[in-house]
Amino acid sequence: MIVIIFVYVFALFFIPFLAEWILNAEVKKGNYMQSFRLCLFFFTVFSIPLFLCLLLE
């Protein structure tokens, strides 16, 4: 479970950075923060079933 949480946190910060770098070839703070908020929302929504499943085992 610790590995899953580590991967979750790493991906949460790395995916917006990677997306900004691919699209614009540079990372700006405003664009990164907007992508980070969107990524945080989707990670939270889609990870709720995963964490519930892990907690119920």
Q: Which is higher by pLDDT, 19 or 1? A: 19
**What's the 3-state SS for 29-51?**
HHHHHHHHHHHHHHHHHHHHHHH
According to the model, what pLDDT value does residue 35 have?
77
Determine the average pLDDT of the residues in 10-31. Answer: 75
pTM score of the predicted model = 0.56
According to the model, what pLDDT value does residue 42 have?
82
Could you tell me if 43 and 12 are in contact, meaning their C-beta atoms sit under 8 angstroms apart?
yes
**Residues whose CB falls within 8 Å of the CB of residue 20, separated by 6 or more in sequence, listed in order:** 26, 27, 28, 31, 32, 35
According to the model, what pLDDT value does residue 15 have?
79
Number of H helices, E strands in the chain: 2, 0
